[in-house]
Amino acid sequence: MKKILVRKNAYYDSVFLMLATKALKQRPGIKEAVVAMGTEVNLGLLKEIGLLSGEAESARPNDLVIAIEAETGEAVEEACRIAEEVLKKKSHGGGGEEDYRPVSLEGALKILPEANLVVISVPGRYAAREARQAVNKGLHVMLFSDHVSVEEEVELKEMALERGLLMMGPDCGTAILNGKPLCFANVVRGGSIGLVAASGSGLQEVSCGIDRMGGGISQAIGTGGRDLQDRRVRGRMMLMGIEALKHDPETRVIVVISKPPAEELAAKVLSKLKDTGKPCVVHFLGLKPSGTRGSMRFSGNMEEAAAMAVALSRGEEYRPLCFSLSEAEVSRVAEAEVKRMGSEQRYVRGLFAGGTLALEAMALFEEEGFRILSNVQKGPGRALHSPHCSESHAIVDLGDDVFTLGRPHPMIDPSQRDERIAKEAVDPETALVLLDVVLGYGAHEDPCGALAESVSKAKGQVAGRGGYLCVIASITGTEKDFQNMAEQKKKLESAGCLVMPSNYQASLLAVHVMRKVVSR
Amino acid sequence: MKAKIEEANQEAVSRIQRAKPTLIDVSIAGEAIPGMKRNMILHAGPPEPWERMCGPMKGAVIGGMILEGLAKNRQEAEALAASGDILFEPCHHHSSVGPMAGVATWSMPVWVMENRTFGNRAYCTLNEGLGKVLRYGAFSEEVIARLRWMAEDLAPALKKALVRHGPIDMKSMIAQALQMGDEGHNRNRAGTSLFIREIAPDLVMLDESREKIARILAFIHGNDHFFLNLSMPSCKCTVDAAASVEGSSVVTTMARNGTEFGIRVSGLGDRWFTGPAGMVEGLYLPGFSARDAAPDIGDSVITETAGIGGFAMAAAPAIVKFVGGSARDAIRYTQQMYEITVAENDAYRIPTLDFRGTPTGIDLLKVVETGILPAINTGIAHKEPGIGMVGAGLVHPPENCFHDALEAFAEKYGK
Amino acid sequence: MNVKKISELFNKELVVINMGLDSFADNLRKEEVKVLPMDWKPPAGGDKRLISLLKKLDA
């Protein structure tokens, strides 16, 4: 039984629609359910699954299409009813007393002329135009949207530079301005350390690390992923961010986080940092540290970057970090984990929601001599044949495009990772599963709830075969985040997961365990 | 290019803001309306030939021809209308506006409105009342008799009273009416009350019988929409001054003839962009339903064009029940209109929005970009001629008018 | 490279217009940031032809 409804001129954002679709699909008796805008792409998809007919065929991008296929007529009607309810709640919700919500930026500025920042998270093909308008109106921009072309990015950053405005993005998921978390960000202590980051989860990991070690953040500026990676963008926002922190009296230490930039850009960044006259920490992911150069420090991992920054902010000498467990304890733990494993179990499977956290884990394993396959590895012979299927030692970035097309990001919706954990548990060669959990605004309200369940199930499955699945995780967050970090940690630990205070330490422990696995 | 358009729009809107619509005379169409001819019949909306006219419009045309003695009855009128000897032209092509069918013929009395700031004038017939009237397509003897009374008794008396009184500042009267629960299109009770209050002393002092004056006062008092035919030409002469500003995307005309809805844009001169007239969504008088409704008709949408009517909905709580039921709905429509207009009116202000000026100066580009169509409060005519108003509610122009206008605008001014 | 406006921003209260995902506005509100959520939808109903016409006018 099929039913297809069209609601004209009813626009809803993609995340909401995906979650609504998911909710409907889970109803009993539902074979297929789609709640989506009538874009060309979506209509094509609906056609493919045989759910495009009648009014829906001429639906336009601003029209909403609800398509349901179920076993019985009742199931279809029930699903439709629920869909209408959910949609109704959405259009009347969002802040209780319905103040007028403007449709255009100019309309918004008529209502709020004192606005100074626009946060843009609209579909990529419209994002540049909106960002351009915002800059023309003299507003700073946080451009969360991705799928914006390089040419557009360059134009936007040029415009912003000319006007002295922030253009954080495109593809910028995290920032902290004036102590306020923007988009995906954690609640961290205020202080004297300023960050400029080309990586969202990197910014989150370092800022949480700083908070954990007693330091605080003055400003954390995001630049978007391409800022230092693509020569054409030329690190414009990174350089501007550094300059802004130079002039900020609250900022006494500057930390820069990015994947290794193109050659000349690295030199530019370093020279700009030197020019600030303030002590700096540079973290170019995956590059081995080259120690100290004057007041500039190079960190080997994100926890170290945080520790160096905190030490500098206190005017102290940085003392290399201790692992939170002693050598002896690590050995003991690793031994205990490996002892119960079956002889077939031999591989590590990293399943990550944060791209930078995945990269950090990968770098550490590679350093220790492991050959890691991944969906985000570019090295020769390092690519997984299919991102959906782990082989050998593998670390997967579940936030990569291939996973997020049409499905919410794993930080928002844990189901994709839950499914993958189950898959790894079925594979008799899986020895260790390594995870990251990111808390804070934007993230799921109870990421460890679902995760703990999957972990339990997975461990149970492997135990049923006579083996043992080791699960190690880290939690990126602070005790001020709304998810209640202590409780989240408890949930994972109750499921038998080893929880470490940072991604670096979790990866390092995982390395120790795998060394023991390999040397059996 | 954007800067040039913005500049042109500021100029156009500034002219609208500076308008001073002033009632200066009551005359007759043949004498006052530029280009009027004895065999010319003016009608509401964009240009339309006789064959395509809807029921109410045809009925009004027949009535007009009978009134002028051009035909003795319906059959003669229809034959003459189809013969090609009658010139049918939009009111708008002759500095005029007319509600519903909007039919004006040579001998009909008209209000003469002058925009004192720029000197341009606009004209409109006097409102006949509700029910079986010419503008709803009725042409019975009763209708013709009333029209004759209006020409012989009502209009001359009002003319003399006006001479006695002196010109009446319409801008000020409309501004007051908006603060008394009117919006100037579908709700005119306050305006009518203010007008009668203004003119009554002078009517009374005329050298006429008490019965005659009493009848005139009763006539005005009995028709809540009397003021509509004053607010309309006030708005017309206001926006006319903003027409033909090079590069401006401000909409300077909106009008319907019961078949089509038409718009004109300042920077595109006299070109009409038309689309099918829509069906009004609203409430019906007892005994009537959507089945009975005629499509959207009349020049009264000139009020929205000038920033009142549906654009001042938040000022008229009584309109609310026609547009969805809660006061918040009415406010929301007005708030939406701010997104498609250039400015906020200096004179016309809305008490419930903290006396914020009404959204003024519809910007074609913003309409297309936001997808928000102008909101129009209007009456609903019965689709059969001569029955009258059957309801009231909310209607939008067809979006293709704006899309076509955008195409023409981009062709003329685009890079 | 003029960063005066950014320095000004650092010394002011954030006043945000949110264009897109509503959850971002909700979160800012929880942090007591003044935020105006928009009811954003694709310009011109997503119609490519109309968008390109608007582009011709720099709009």
CA distance A377 to A203: 21
| Residues B371, A62: C-beta atoms closer than 8 Å | yes
Strands (DSSP E) contained in B116-250 are 121-125, 168-169
Which contiguous run of DSSP H or E holds residue B370? helix B364-370
> What is the reported pLDDT for A92?
52
- Given a cut of 70, is residue A96 above it in pLDDT? no
User: Omega before B286 cis (within 30°)?
Assistant: no
Q: Is C48 on the interface with B (CB under 8 A)?
A: no
Q: Is A430 helix (H, G, I), strand (E, B) or coil?
A: strand
User: Considering A76, A92, A108, which residue would you say is the last residue of a domain?
Assistant: A92
- Looking at the fold, whether A193 and A57 belong to one and the same domain comes out as no
**Burial tier of A455 (Cβ tally within 10 Å: 0-12, 13-18, 19+):** buried
| Residues C38, A164: C-beta atoms closer than 8 Å | no
Q: Is C44 on the interface with B (CB under 8 A)?
A: yes
| Residues B414, C57: C-beta atoms closer than 8 Å | yes
Positive or negative torsion for Cα B241, B349, B345, C45 = negative
**Total residues belonging to chain B:** 415
Among the partner residues A61, A120, A442, nearest to C42 by beta-carbon distance: A61
- Looking at the fold, whether A454 and A308 belong to one and the same domain comes out as no
Domain span holding position A249: 172-313
> What is the reported pLDDT for A94?
41
The model's confidence at residue A214, banded by pLDDT at 50, 70 and 90, is very high
Q: Domain map of chain B by residue range?
A: 242-413
- Percentage of the residues of chain B whose pLDDT score is greater than 90: 88
**Burial tier of B9 (Cβ tally within 10 Å: 0-12, 13-18, 19+):** buried
Distance from CA of A110 to the nearest CA of B (A): 8
Residues A110 and A102: beta-carbon distance below 8 Å: yes
Whether A163 maps to a domain, the answer reads no
pLDDT tens figures, B141-189: 999 999 999 999 999 999 999 999 999 999 999 999 999 999 999 999 9
| The token pair that represents A330 in the structure block | 């690590």
- Looking at the fold, whether A198 and A87 belong to one and the same domain comes out as no
| The token pair that represents A378 in the structure block | 């570019």
**Residue numbers in A near B327 (CB within 8 A):** none
Distance from CA of B263 to the nearest CA of A (A): 23
pLDDT tens figures, C6-36: 999 999 999 999 999 999 999 999 999 999 9
Quick one: closest CA in C to B367, which residue?
Answer: C44
Distance from CA of A9 to the nearest CA of B (A): 9
- Given a cut of 70, is residue A484 above it in pLDDT? yes
Chain B interface mutation, best of A62, A92, A104, A135, highest count of B Cβ atoms under 10 Å: A104
Q: Is B259 left (phi over 0), alpha (psi -120 to 50) or beta?
A: alpha
Angle at A356 between CA A502 and CA A418, to 5 degrees: 75
**Residue numbers in A near C31 (CB within 8 A):** 180-181, 187, 441
Residues B315 and B356: beta-carbon distance below 8 Å: no
Residues A234 and A265: beta-carbon distance below 8 Å: yes
Quick one: closest CA in C to A96, which residue?
Answer: C26
> What is the reported pLDDT for B272?
98
pLDDT tens figures, A60-72: 888 999 999 999 8
Count of B-C CB contacts under 8 Å: 40
Q: Which of residues 18-37 of C touch B (CB under 8 A)?
A: none
Distance from CA of A420 to the nearest CA of C (A): 27
The model's confidence at residue A87, banded by pLDDT at 50, 70 and 90, is confident
Q: Is A480 left (phi over 0), alpha (psi -120 to 50) or beta?
A: alpha
Measured in degrees and rounded to the nearest 5, phi and psi for residue B259 equal -120, -45
Q: Please name the chains neighbouring B, where neighbouring means 3+ C-beta pairs under 8 angstroms.
A: A, C
Helices (H) and strands (E) in chain B, counts: 14, 15
Chain A interface mutation, best of B5, B335, B369, highest count of A Cβ atoms under 10 Å: B335
Contacts of A113 (CB under 8 A, 6+ apart): none
In terms of C-beta distances under 8 Å and separation of at least 24 residues, what long-range contacts does B210-217 make, across chains too? B212/B153, B212/B157, B213/B157, B215/B153, B216/B153, B216/B154, B216/B157, B216/B158
Distance from CA of B404 to the nearest CA of C (A): 10
| The token pair that represents B51 in the structure block | 């064959």
Distance from CA of B117 to the nearest CA of A (A): 29
User: Considering A285, A313, A341, which residue would you say is the last residue of a domain?
Assistant: A313
**Mean per-residue pLDDT of chain B:** 95
**Residue numbers in A near C21 (CB within 8 A):** 13, 15-16, 121, 144
Q: Which of residues 54-113 of A touch B (CB under 8 A)?
A: 62, 98, 100, 102-104, 106-107, 110
Residues B298 and B378: beta-carbon distance below 8 Å: yes
- Looking at the fold, whether A353 and A420 belong to one and the same domain comes out as yes
Q: In whole angstroms, how far apart are CA A8 and each of A215, A418, B69, B143, C45?
A: 52, 36, 51, 43, 10
- Given a cut of 80, is residue A15 above it in pLDDT? no
**Burial tier of A15 (Cβ tally within 10 Å: 0-12, 13-18, 19+):** middle
Q: In whole angstroms, how far apart are CA A188 and each of A193, A208, A221, A477, A481?
A: 11, 7, 14, 9, 8
Q: Which residue has the tokens 């509700």?
A: B130
Which contiguous run of DSSP H or E holds residue B15? helix B2-18
What mean pLDDT is predicted for residues B295-309?
97
Residues B135 and B103: beta-carbon distance below 8 Å: yes
| The token pair that represents B383 in the structure block | 């689709």
Which contiguous run of DSSP H or E holds residue A284? strand A280-284
- Looking at the fold, whether A306 and A338 belong to one and the same domain comes out as no
**Residue numbers in B near C17 (CB within 8 A):** none
Which contiguous run of DSSP H or E holds residue B43? strand B40-43
> What is the reported pLDDT for A91?
62
Q: Is C12 on the interface with B (CB under 8 A)?
A: no
Among the partner residues C1, C23, C34, nearest to A243 by beta-carbon distance: C1
Quick one: closest CA in B to C45, which residue?
Answer: B371
Residues B200 and B194: beta-carbon distance below 8 Å: no
Q: In whole angstroms, how far apart are CA A518 and each of A365, A390, A511?
A: 13, 18, 10
pLDDT tens figures, A260-292: 898 889 999 999 999 999 999 999 987 776 667
| The token pair that represents A381 in the structure block | 């012979």
- Looking at the fold, whether A189 and A231 belong to one and the same domain comes out as yes
Among the partner residues A103, A138, A247, nearest to C40 by beta-carbon distance: A103
In terms of C-beta distances under 8 Å and separation of at least 24 residues, what long-range contacts does B271-277 make, across chains too? B271/B408, B272/B46, B272/B47, B273/B401, B273/B402, B273/B404, B273/B405, B273/B408, B274/B46, B274/B401, B275/B397, B275/B398, B275/B399, B275/B400, B275/B401, B275/B404, B276/B398, B277/B45, B277/B398
- Given a cut of 70, is residue A93 above it in pLDDT? no
Distance from CA of B398 to the nearest CA of C (A): 14
User: Considering A257, A291, A313, which residue would you say is the last residue of a domain?
Assistant: A313
Q: Report the interhelical angle of B155-165 vs B189-204 (nearest 10°).
A: 80
Which contiguous run of DSSP H or E holds residue A105? helix A105-111
Residues B23 and B175: beta-carbon distance below 8 Å: no
CA distance C39 to B11: 30
**Residue numbers in C near A96 (CB within 8 A):** none
| Sheet containing A140-143: order of strands | A167-168, A140-143, A117-120, C15-19, C34-37
| Residues B336, A110: C-beta atoms closer than 8 Å | no
Q: Is A297 helix (H, G, I), strand (E, B) or coil?
A: strand
Q: Is B406 on the interface with C (CB under 8 A)?
A: yes
DSSP string, A191-209: EEEEEEES-HHHHHHHHHH
- Looking at the fold, whether A26 and A73 belong to one and the same domain comes out as yes
- Looking at the fold, whether A335 and A457 belong to one and the same domain comes out as yes
- Percentage of the residues of chain C whose pLDDT score is greater than 70: 98
| Residues C57, B371: C-beta atoms closer than 8 Å | no
- Looking at the fold, whether A360 and A392 belong to one and the same domain comes out as yes
Count of A-C CB contacts under 8 Å: 161
CA distance B263 to B275: 9
What mean pLDDT is predicted for residues A371-398?
92
- Please state, as a whole number, how many other Cβ atoms lie within 10 Å of the Cβ of residue C41: 22
Among the partner residues C7, C13, C21, nearest to A13 by beta-carbon distance: C21
Quick one: closest CA in A to B369, which residue?
Answer: A104
Distance from CA of B339 to the nearest CA of A (A): 5
Q: In whole angstroms, how far apart are CA A15 and each of A20, A36, B211, C24?
A: 8, 10, 72, 12
Which residues lie across from A435 on neighbouring strands?
A351, A473
Architecture of the domain defined by B242-413: Alpha-Beta Complex (3.90)
Task: Report DSSP state, residue B361.
Answer: E
CATH number at residue A272: 3.40.50.261
Q: In whole angstroms, how far apart are CA B212 and each of A237, A503, B136, B203?
A: 81, 95, 26, 10
Distance from CA of C26 to the nearest CA of A (A): 7
Whether A319 maps to a domain, the answer reads no
- Given a cut of 80, is residue A321 above it in pLDDT? no
- Looking at the fold, whether A84 and A44 belong to one and the same domain comes out as yes
ipTM over the 0.95 cut-off: yes
Among the partner residues B328, B338, B371, nearest to A9 by beta-carbon distance: B371
| Residues C10, A219: C-beta atoms closer than 8 Å | yes
- Looking at the fold, whether A300 and A341 belong to one and the same domain comes out as no
Quick one: closest CA in A to B337, which residue?
Answer: A107
| Residues A9, B370: C-beta atoms closer than 8 Å | no
What's the predicted TM-score (pTM) here? 0.89
| Residues A11, C36: C-beta atoms closer than 8 Å | no
pLDDT tens figures, B37-92: 999 999 999 999 999 999 999 999 999 999 999 999 999 999 999 999 999 999 99
Whether A107 maps to a domain, the answer reads no
The model's confidence at residue A116, banded by pLDDT at 50, 70 and 90, is very high
Whether A449 maps to a domain, the answer reads yes
Q: Domain map of chain C by residue range?
A: 12-56
Q: In whole angstroms, how far apart are CA B283 and each of A392, B278, B280, B348, B393?
A: 70, 16, 9, 27, 6
- Looking at the fold, whether A350 and A483 belong to one and the same domain comes out as yes
Distance from CA of A6 to the nearest CA of C (A): 15
- Given a cut of 90, is residue A39 above it in pLDDT? no
| Residues A177, C5: C-beta atoms closer than 8 Å | no
Burial A352-370 (b: 16+ CB within 10 A, else e): bbbbbbbbbbbbbbbeeeb
Contacts of B214 (CB under 8 A, 6+ apart): none
